Chains A and B, each alone.
Chain A
Amino acid sequence: MDTSGINELSILSEISRISNSTIGLAEKLRRVVEVVARGMGKEGASVFLIDRSGKTVTLAAAIGLHQETVGKLSFPLGMGIAGWVAEQKVPLALEDPFSDPRFAYVPESGIEKFKSLMAAPIMDEDQCLGVIFVLSTPVWRVTSSDITLLTTTANQLAGVIKNARMLQSIQDRLTELATIYKISLALTSTLDLEQILSLVARNSTQSLRAQGCTIRLMNLPEIPSRKTFSSYSVVGEAILVMDARIGSAVTEWVVREKRAILIPDVTKDSLLPDSAKLSAGSVIGAPLIFRDKVLGVITLYNIQQGQFFNEDDLQFLTTVASGAAVAVENAAMYERMEDLATEARTRAQELSILYDIGTAMSMTLNLDRLLRIILTAATMGGSGLGFNRALLFLTNERTNTLQGMMGVGPSNWEEAGRAWNEVLARHKSLMEWIQTGELFENKDSALNDLARGIRVPLDSNGGVMSLTVLNRKPYNITDAGSSPLVKKELRETLRVDNFATVPLVAKDRVIGVILVDNMFNRRPITDGDIRFLSLFAHQAALAIENSIIHSNLETMNKDIRALHEQLVQSEKMAALGAMIAEITHEIRNPLVSIGGFTRRLAKKLRDGEDKKYIDIILSEVSRLEGIIHDNLSYLKEASLQLSEADVNAIIEEILMLYEDELAQRRITIKRDLSPTLPRVMVDIQQIKQAVINIMKNAMEAMEKGGTLFFRTYFLPETHEAAIEMEDTGPGISAKVMHNIFNPYYSTKPRGTGLGLPITNRIIKAHKGKIEVRNKSTGGAVFTIKLPCPSQGGG
């Protein structure tokens, strides 16, 4: 019975149905082999397809064979029965294939259970697409109608494969378009560069079934904060295997040539160094070009054999790359704008803070209060600079040092926490702190004491503090522990690793330094912080300078007022003096009469009661005449008759003059007169008078005798000659000490009280000094210091 006609029809109609179904090619082929085997009444059937390269045939579907080999079992063209049929493009029937020399036995396939086979090429006009097999377990004698049936089936199958492939191609194209659309949609929806790069890399990898992707961006000025090549990668095994060896070579080529590159097989490419040593793989790279400028390179890697990249992939990647280039440019521009906006915002905020601080500073001219405002502004969060601690130093030009003036900030963690909570709770501005006066309370913090204890010499060895002054620039110390700029003392005082110093420059003069740190919250001090701090310091310096000038003006004003009062006082004194002089003279004449006549009377009287009265009158007259003499001497303007003199000689002369009186009073004289004492320019008579007055004072103090010690010596620091007179009297009481050089103040029952004031006046007229002190052992010491003419002055 000939059933072949019926079978043929049923097979072909089945295949036609399968062809029109919507399932994928692999499933279609699987069903086709099933239909063919069943329709021809055999146990097995299979389909091999020639791959794109046209060089191998691979098992695409099978029935009766091990399914694991589907997709893996392949032969080069011309090898095995499948390879032979594909090459010869003719059908072949073998009753015993195992004995045929063309047969290549692959044990994994499970072919050994079949005895006979028939194969036909799947032809699309002249091109062979693959081979279809029918396998039989019993020995099969193939008839010509069998061959016709299989050939017809193969022809039908060619249509199925062609249609499926076309569909696949259209679907692939659609997928690519969808991908491109998806990417372009995404690219316009975000301006975050990292996100864009990630999106491009991920989608390209998926679309081209690659195993890795890198995107490298050039370091163009339009793209801030990018290094020479910053890369974004979808990490895959391909990158691990290939990128390190060929990634940069491909990138360099693409950047140089400004066009895309396809390397189907890296092992066979002359572009790459040592290509033969590379493991097999495929690479495509495309430039990200915007306005003729290469912004970067996208590279895709494939290491799966049989799926190497082709021209279509390259086309796709080029399209993606040009879209990505626009997105990268947009993102970069946005990033630049963002940076500019942030910068502008920061500047505006800083300006507002500086303005507030400036206003606050202008509220006082008191230096102490001003320094407190400055340091509080430096340490306040929100409306201030927000450092944890701030210390202020002012330069002292006289001692050439930097002196700690004030410190503001918590002393320990506990205090820091409390202070911050308080500030947060009250939420006060600097201005409110000042206006309520709270700012100026509680001055005695530990940090303030610490600050005031710091004094640094202003020389190049003085470390970072003096360098800040000398070099007029800020310093940001990030490793105080190891920095050679930080002296041990400062390190141990501050106990922080990161601190910064800025100079206080006012009118081209460095008047001090501000030091800040973040001891408690450990926030690193940034370049931005330093810049802002410098602006702030500039403003602070001007305010401090103003305050100091104001204070100097005040002092000067006070001095002028004092001077004026002195002048008024001395004018009054002068008038009083003139009056006293007048009266004194008027008294002198009557006294001469009284005294003169009394003396005459005394001569006429013998000794007795009356004589006693006469003596009283005479002694009182003498005393009055003494007062008048001293008074007039004091009042008389001291006009100096300067001449070069030897102080030691003056003393010796005086001691000779008073030799008798001193002996009478049982006063011993001791001398320690410096033989090298320089000569002085003095009015010898007046200096003699000055010394005599002190000596008389000492003589009167030592009623029962004693020792008077004369000492002379030179004071090199002040360039003065000193005369010291030390007695062994009772010393001088505090009350008297206070008034000792005041005229008309005398404790003596007799005497004018003008001796020491005259001495004082004489020494002052010589621009010298006079000092008095009590010795701990009793007795007083008077010291006269007279300026010596500078050497070379004759």
Chain B
Amino acid sequence: MKKILVVDDEENIRQLYREEFEEMGFEVTTVPDGAQALVKMDAAKFDLVTLDMRMPDMDGIETLRKMKEKDSALPIIICTAYEEYKQDFASWISDAYIVKSSDMTLLRETVKKLLG
């Protein structure tokens, strides 16, 4: 069973993504910030990460860079309410950039494609 790590500071979003991905048949781990995410990565191997951008303490871009340093092959999807991060070159090392929507279709299809 493939493992997905959801990084988001909003609990409701973590819950929503967990339910969506579990429904798709993945094992889901959720964390509220970047630091905890990096700790989780040391403890276990994940097949995909969804990463929020706007978070307290360590922001999404920094977390993204550190994750890619640890495991450059790990697919990371940026999931954010903001479109501006797209213009930041640093965001381009992610594998997908999705603006959050209540419609999960795009997210689900992207996950399927990356883990396909």
Residues on A facing B (Cβ under 8 Å): 585, 588-600, 618, 621-622, 625, 632, 636
Contacts and interface: CB of A to CB of B under 8 A. Distances in A.
A596 B83 contact: no
A585 B101 CA distance: 12
A602 to B, nearest CB: 11
A592 B12 CA distance: 9
Contact of B13 (A593, A618, A622): A593
A625 B13 contact: no
A588 B54 CA distance: 12
A625 B101 contact: yes
A555 to B, nearest CB: 41
B56 to A, nearest CB: 14
B83 A592 contact: no
A622 B19 contact: no
B81 A599 contact: no
Q: Is the interface of B mostly helix, strand, loop or mixed?
A: loop
B71 to A, nearest CB: 27
15 contacts: A585-B54, A585-B82, A589-B10, A589-B13, A590-B12, A592-B13, A592-B100, A593-B10, A593-B13, A595-B101, A595-B102, A598-B102, A600-B19, A622-B103, A636-B83
A622 B16 CA distance: 17
Interface string B15-37: 01001100000000000000000
Contacts of A625: 101-102
A585 B81 contact: yes
Contacts of A593: 10, 12-13, 16, 102
| Nearest 8 interchain pairs by C-beta | A595-B102, A588-B81, A593-B12, A596-B16, A592-B100, A585-B81, A596-B102, A621-B102
Given A593-B16, A596-B104, A632 B10 contact: no
Contacts of B16: 592-593, 596-597, 600
Contacts of A618: 102
A599 B12 contact: no
A636 B83 CA distance: 10
Given A588-B100, A592-B101, A599-B103, 10 more contacts: A592-B100, A593-B13, A594-B102, A595-B101, A595-B102, A597-B12, A598-B102, A599-B102, A600-B20, A636-B83
A599 B104 CA distance: 9
A601 to B, nearest CB: 11
A364 to B, nearest CB: 58
B102 A589 contact: no
Contacts, number: 50
Contact of B100 (A589, A599, A621, A622): A589
Contacts of B81: 585, 588-589, 592
A621 B102 CA distance: 8
Contacts of A596: 13, 16, 20, 102, 104
Contacts of A598: 102
Interface string B75-109: 00000011110000000000000001111100000
Nearest to A596: B16
B12 to A, nearest CB: 4
A621 B84 CA distance: 22
Contacts of B82: 585
Contacts of A588: 81, 100
A590 B102 CA distance: 9
Contacts of B12: 589-590, 593, 597
Which residue among B10, B84, B103 has the maximum number of chain A CB atoms within 10 Å of its CB? B103
A586 to B, nearest CB: 8
B54 to A, nearest CB: 8
Contacts of A636: 83-84
A594 to B, nearest CB: 7
Contacts of B54: 585
A614 to B, nearest CB: 12
Contacts of B84: 636
A632 B83 contact: yes
Contacts of B103: 595, 599, 622
A618 B104 CA distance: 13
Nearest to A584: B81
B63 to A, nearest CB: 18
B109 to A, nearest CB: 15
Contacts of B100: 588-589, 592
A625 B13 CA distance: 16
A588 B101 CA distance: 8
Contacts of A599: 102-104
A592 B102 contact: yes
A704 B91 CA distance: 46
A592 B20 CA distance: 13
Nearest to B14: A593
Nearest to B79: A592
B88 to A, nearest CB: 14
A618 B20 CA distance: 17
Contacts of B101: 592, 595, 625
A579 to B, nearest CB: 15
Nearest to A600: B19
B59 to A, nearest CB: 14
Contacts of A590: 12
A589 B84 CA distance: 16
A592 B101 CA distance: 5
